[in-house]
């Protein structure tokens, strides 16, 4: 009899979980956008520990902490799968610039550059970060470890060493392989080299993301190469921070997306991610031909000292100012930071040339870039993307939202506004104002879609059993405040954020809690 009674009680609690239930957190009366792309619905969410326990009309229940979300939208925490969060996570472990956008998870190691070894880094951040933190392993990092910055084909023995490092990185917890084929030393690698590493990563459940060799005049060839890496390497592949650089190339997103769609139709698992801005940001070295950077800074100085190679380098920089990242005007290349001279932040190559008494010509700007690179380089913002391409890429159904940003030191230098505003900008500008995306679709591209892409099976959706990464925001108010002239401004409209059930922000105020965890990829050996 007692056994029967216990059975009836257990059945009752399972069948009617809202009765006789106490949660750690109860969020009531929220407009729930669940991350799957489905229409929003009005409901409550109960959280126990680090997981969502129940979703629905949770009546006659109690909780240690209750939030009335009337008039607000509850979504899964946003997932930034192209992050440079390594920059600043130790100095600012609360990651306030991310939390205030609703970001609860970041994937580091893009563009071919990552920590190595992977496992020791991930294990070392346990308990010390405010957002969940995963890693890709960088092809450029692997190549540098084996070959340095040499501009040549890998020998069979060197390729075996690289494959072994890629395999170990996957076993240590990487989610896949990133390539930076635009950058040194990735630019010196053949497609076949990357495919061989891709095969290793793919067999262990990983994916490939690529900062492509060229995002300007040769962007179509670069998309084809990214697709080929996935197709021949037998692993999912992704065109990361997709954009079209250079005025004469604007509109080519029609063709790049057609290539992606054609590949998908024949069974290639290829996707896209993008940020919602018309400017990119990277080192001033992006203006230099890659061959000139082989061997490091000493070798570059030697090349610049030789009149013939100096002239070649300058001519290619002029061409990139006119036809690529400069979009035809040195004023479009604006310094974000220079370690050797903080006063240059916010000044364009044209500004610097004029301050030196030169005309602001592409030729003078090229000489300025050469001088800056010789002194230690700088990072820059490049205004060379069209709004039409941004919107077209955002509309593509298999495009995820990423920031390509980090965790900057608040108030210092002139970083790209994407560091502070990416996800709020999508919700404010491209959902509410321009209606490029619906709210449900935007949330899906920032949560459920990237979670599935990176194999985060217990994140990215609001449902029982999922990790309690949650963001509560006002869709009528959420917006980015950061801009190119005043970048250090937090986004607004996000009310509260929970990371693994821990409140990182309540009613617009940071709590200081560090609820983030290291995330380990599909092949990790615990």
Task: Tell me, yes or no, whether 349 and 402 share the same domain.
Answer: no
Give the tens place of pLDDT for each residue, 505-526. Answer: 999 999 999 999 999 999 997 6
Domain extent, residue 362, equals 285-383
- Does 259 map to a domain? yes
Give the pLDDT score at 526: 62
351 with 424, same domain: the answer is no
Flag whether 218 is in a domain. Answer: yes
- pLDDT band of residue 20 (cuts 50, 70, 90) is low
Q: Is 347 found in the same domain as 236?
A: no
| Inside any domain, residue 351 | yes
The residue-averaged pLDDT of 125-132 equals 95
Strand partners, 67: 27
Strands 399-401 and 470-473: unpaired
CB 416 within 8 A of CB 336: yes
pLDDT above 50: residue 67: yes
Q: Are the C-beta atoms of residues 226 and 212 closer than 8 Å to each other?
A: yes
Over the stretch 423-452, which tens digit does the pLDDT of each residue have?
999 999 999 999 999 999 999 999 999 999
Pair (371, 268) in one structural domain:
no
The whole-number pLDDT of residue 114 equals 98
Q: How confident is the model at residue 318 (pLDDT cuts 50, 70, 90)?
A: very high
Is the CB of residue 369 less than 8 Å from the CB of residue 350? no
Any residues with CB less than 8 A from the CB of 25 and at least 6 apart, and which?
46, 47, 63, 64, 65, 66, 67, 468, 498, 501
473 located within any domain: no
Domain boundary among 429, 454, 479: 454
202 and 343 inside one domain: no
Least confident of 13-27, 48-62, 206-220, 253-267: 13-27
Tally the domains of the chain: 2
Q: Across residues 178-189, what is the average pLDDT?
A: 97
Average pLDDT value over all residues in the chain: 95
In DSSP notation, 264-322 reads HHTT--EEEEE-S-SEEEEEGGGGS-GGGGTT-HHHHHHHHHSHHHHHHHHHHHHHHHH
Residues 129, 242 within the same domain: yes
User: 403 and 356, same structural domain?
Assistant: no
Closest to 470 measured CA to CA, from 50, 93, 127: 50
Is residue 180 assigned to a domain? yes
82 and 210 fall within a common domain: yes
Specify the DSSP class assigned to residue 340. Answer: T
**pLDDT value of residue 525:** 76
3-state SS string for 433-491:
HCCCCCHHHHHHHHCHHHHHHCCCCCCCCCCCCCECCEEEECCCCCECCCCCCCCCCCC
pTM summary value: 0.94
Whether 11 shows a pLDDT value over 80: the answer reads no
Q: In the listed set 412, 434, 454, which residue is the last one of a domain according to the structure?
A: 454
495 in any annotated domain = no
The answer to whether 122 and 518 are in contact (CB under 8 A) is yes
Do 216 and 294 fall into the same domain?
A: no
Query: Which residue, 497, 496, 507, 476, is CA-closest to 71?
Result: 476
Q: Are residues 346 and 405 in the same domain?
A: no
Task: Let me know whether 123 and 253 are in one domain.
Answer: yes
Task: Kindly tell me if the per-residue pLDDT of 174 is higher than 90.
Answer: yes
How far is it, in rounded angstroms, from Cα 398 to Cα 272?
A: 6
List, for residues 362-400, the tens digit of each pLDDT value: 999 999 999 999 998 899 999 999 999 999 999 999 999
Rounded distance between C-alpha atoms, residue 31 and residue 72, angstroms: 6
Joined tokens for residue 223:
């998309």
Are 128 and 248 part of one and the same domain?
yes
pLDDT class of 87 with cuts at 50, 70, 90: confident
Residue 485 located in a structural domain? no
Phi, psi of 451, deg, nearest 5? -60, -45
Whats the size of the chain, residue-wise?
A: 526
């Amino acid at each position: 009899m007692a056994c029967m009674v216990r059975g009836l009680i257990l059945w009752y609690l399972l069948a009617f979980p809202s009765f006789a239930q106490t949660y750690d957190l109860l969020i009531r009366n929220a407009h729930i956008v669940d991350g799957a792309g489905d229409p929003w619905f009005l409901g409550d969410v109960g959280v126990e520990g680090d997981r969502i326990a129940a979703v629905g009309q949770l009546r006659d229940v109690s909780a240690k902490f209750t939030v009335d979300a009337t008039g607000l939208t509850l979504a899964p925490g946003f997932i930034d799968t192209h992050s440079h969060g390594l920059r600043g996570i130790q100095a600012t472990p609360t990651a306030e610039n991310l939390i205030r956008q609703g970001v609860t998870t970041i994937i580091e190691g893009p563009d071919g550059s990552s920590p190595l070894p992977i496992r020791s880094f991930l294990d070392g951040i346990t308990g010390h970060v405010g957002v969940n933190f995963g890693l890709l392993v960088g092809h450029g990092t692997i190549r540098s470890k084996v070959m340095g910055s040499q501009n040549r084909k890998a020998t069979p023995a060197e390729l075996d060493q690289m494959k072994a490092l890629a395999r170990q990185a996957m076993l240590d917890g990487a989610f896949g392989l990133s390539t930076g084929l635009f950058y040194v030393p990735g630019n010196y690698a053949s497609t076949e080299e990357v495919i061989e590493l891709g095969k290793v990563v793919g067999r262990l459940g990983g994916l490939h993301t690529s900062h492509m060799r060229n995002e300007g005049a040769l962007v179509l060839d670069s998309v084809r190469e990214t697709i080929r890496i996935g197709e021949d390497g037998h692993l999912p592949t992704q065109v990361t921070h997709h954009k079209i650089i250079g005025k004469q190339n604007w509109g080519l997103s029609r063709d790049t997306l057609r290539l992606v769609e054609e590949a998908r139709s024949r069974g290639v698992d290829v996707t896209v991610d993008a940020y919602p801005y018309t400017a990119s940001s990277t080192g001033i070295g992006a203006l230099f031909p890659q061959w000139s950077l082989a061997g490091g800074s000493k070798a570059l100085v030697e090349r610049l000292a030789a009149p013939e190679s100096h002239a070649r380098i300058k001519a290619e920089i002029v061409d990139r100012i006119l036809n690529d990242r400069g979009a035809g005007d040195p004023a479009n290349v604006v310094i974000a930071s220079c370690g050797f001279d903080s006063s240059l932040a916010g000044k364009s190559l044209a500004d610097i040339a004029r301050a030196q008494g030169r005309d602001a010509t592409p030729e003078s700007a090229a000489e300025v870039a050469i001088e800056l690179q010789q002194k230690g380089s700088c990072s820059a913002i490049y205004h060379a993307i069209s709004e039409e391409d941004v919107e077209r890429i955002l509309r593509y159904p298999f495009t995820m939202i990423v920031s390509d940003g980090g965790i900057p030191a608040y108030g210092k230098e002139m970083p790209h506004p994407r560091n502070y505003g990416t996800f709020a900008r999508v919700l404010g500008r491209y959902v509410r104002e321009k209606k490029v995306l619906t709210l449900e679709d935007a949330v899906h591209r920032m949560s459920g879609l990237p979670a599935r892409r990176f194999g985060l099976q217990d994140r990215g959706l609001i449902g029982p059993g999922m990790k309690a990464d949650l963001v509560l925001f006002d869709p009528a108010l959420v917006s980015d405040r950061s801009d190119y002239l005043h970048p250090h401004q937090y986004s607004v409209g996000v009310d509260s954020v929970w990371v693994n059930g821990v409140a990182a922000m309540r009613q617009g105020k940071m709590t200081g809690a560090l609820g983030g965890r290291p995330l380990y990829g599909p092949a990790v050996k615990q």
